[in-house]
Chains A and B, each alone.
Chain A
Amino acid sequence: MSFDTEVGDIQLRNPLILASGVLGTTYSTLQRTYEAGLGAVITKSIGPRSRIGNPNPSVFALQEIRSVINSVGLANPGYSIFREDIQILNENKIPTIVSIFGENKEEFLEVLNGLKDLSVLAFELNLSCPNTEKGGTQIGTDPELVKEIVSMLRKETEIPLWVKLTPNVSNILEIADAAIKGGSDALVAINTLKAMVIDIQTKMPVLGFKRGGLSGAAIKPIGIRYVYDLYENFGDKIPIIGVGGIYRGEDIIEYLLAGATAVEIGTSLGVAYPENMIRFFQMKIKKYMKEHQFNSIKEITGGAHR
Chain B
Amino acid sequence: MTKQTLPNDKPLMGKIITKELECEDTYKFLIELPIKAQRALPGQFIMLWVPGVDEFPIGIAGFKENILEVGIAKMGPGTEAMINKQIGDLVGVRGFYGKPFKPPQDVNHLLIGGGFGMTPLKLLTTTLLEKDSKQNIHVFEGARTKDRLMYLDWFQDLHDKDLITFHVCTDDGSYGYQGFPTVDLENFLQENQTPSVMYVAGPEKMMKAIFNIGKKYSNVMDMQMSLADRYMRCGFGACSYCAVDPTGWRICVDGPVFNTEQLEQISDFGLYKRLESGEKVRI
Cα-based distance from A23 to B242 in the complex (angstroms): 10
Which one of A28, A62, A78 contacts B10 once the chains associate, using CB atoms below 8 Å? A62
Q: Provide the residues of chain A in CB contact with B253, threshold 8 Å.
A: 273
Cα-based distance from A68 to B239 in the complex (angstroms): 11
Which one of A21, A22, A28, A208 contacts B246 once the chains associate, using CB atoms below 8 Å? A28
Cα-based distance from A58 to B246 in the complex (angstroms): 25
A59 touches B49 (CB 8 A): no
Interface size class of chain A, counting residues whose CB lies under 8 Å from the partner chain: 35 or more
B13 touches A201 (CB 8 A): yes
> Closest CB of chain B to A113's CB: distance in Å?
21
Q: Provide the residues of chain B in CB contact with A28, threshold 8 Å.
A: 243-248
Q: Provide the residues of chain A in CB contact with B211, threshold 8 Å.
A: none
Q: Check A114 for interface membership: any CB of B closer than 8 A.
A: no
Binary interface profile of B, 231-262, with partner A (CB < 8 Å = 1, else 0)? 00110111111011111111001000000000
Cα-based distance from A30 to B8 in the complex (angstroms): 24
Given the interface pairs A60-B10, A60-B94, A271-B236, the reply to whether A26 lies near B248 with Cβ below 8 Å is yes
Cα-based distance from A219 to B90 in the complex (angstroms): 31
Q: Provide the residues of chain B in CB contact with A171, threshold 8 Å.
A: none
Chain B's closest residue to A268 (CB) is B238
B240 touches A29 (CB 8 A): yes
> Closest CB of chain B to A64's CB: distance in Å?
8
Chief secondary structure at chain B's binding surface: loop
A202 touches B90 (CB 8 A): yes
Cα-based distance from A59 to B242 in the complex (angstroms): 13
Q: Provide the residues of chain A in CB contact with B11, threshold 8 Å.
A: 57, 60, 199, 206
The interface-forming segment of B24-32, B126-134, B275-283 is B275-283
Q: Provide the residues of chain B in CB contact with A267, threshold 8 Å.
A: 238
Which one of A30, A75, A272, A273 contacts B276 once the chains associate, using CB atoms below 8 Å? A75
Which one of A52, A57, A63, A266 contacts B55 once the chains associate, using CB atoms below 8 Å? A57
Q: Check A72 for interface membership: any CB of B closer than 8 A.
A: yes
Which one of A52, A56, A84 contacts B277 once the chains associate, using CB atoms below 8 Å? A52
Q: Provide the residues of chain A in CB contact with B246, threshold 8 Å.
A: 28, 31
A270 touches B238 (CB 8 A): yes
Chain A's closest residue to B56 (CB) is A56
Which one of A21, A60, A76 contacts B9 once the chains associate, using CB atoms below 8 Å? A60
Given the interface pairs A25-B278, A58-B233, the reply to whether A68 lies near B238 with Cβ below 8 Å is yes
Q: Provide the residues of chain A in CB contact with B195, threshold 8 Å.
A: none
Q: Check A235 for interface membership: any CB of B closer than 8 A.
A: no
Which one of B51, B241, B248 contacts A32 once the chains associate, using CB atoms below 8 Å? B248
Which one of B234, B249, B277, B278 contacts A270 once the chains associate, using CB atoms below 8 Å? B234
Chain B's closest residue to A215 (CB) is B238
Given the interface pairs A25-B241, A72-B239, the reply to whether A197 lies near B10 with Cβ below 8 Å is yes
Chain B's closest residue to A32 (CB) is B248
Cα-based distance from A25 to B250 in the complex (angstroms): 11
Cα-based distance from A253 to B250 in the complex (angstroms): 30
Q: Provide the residues of chain A in CB contact with B9, threshold 8 Å.
A: 60-64
> Closest CB of chain B to A208's CB: distance in Å?
7
Cα-based distance from A59 to B234 in the complex (angstroms): 5
Q: Check B76 for interface membership: any CB of A closer than 8 A.
A: no
Most chain A beta-carbon neighbours within 10 Å: one of B52, B253, B276: B276
Which one of A44, A55, A62, A201 contacts B90 once the chains associate, using CB atoms below 8 Å? A201
Cα-based distance from A270 to B9 in the complex (angstroms): 14
> Closest CB of chain B to A206's CB: distance in Å?
6
Question: Which 5 pairs of residues, A with B, have the shortest CB-CB distance?
Answer: A270-B238, A32-B248, A28-B248, A59-B234, A77-B279
Q: A21-B239, A55-B54 provided; 14 other pairs, C-beta below 8 A?
A: A25-B278, A26-B243, A26-B245, A26-B248, A26-B274, A29-B248, A56-B54, A58-B234, A70-B239, A76-B278, A202-B51, A206-B10, A270-B239, A271-B238
Sampled A-B contacts (21; CB under 8 Å):
A26-B280, A29-B240, A31-B246, A31-B248, A32-B247, A44-B240, A56-B49, A56-B233, A58-B55, A58-B233, A59-B234, A60-B10, A61-B9, A68-B234, A70-B239, A77-B277, A77-B278, A204-B52, A208-B55, A270-B236, A270-B240
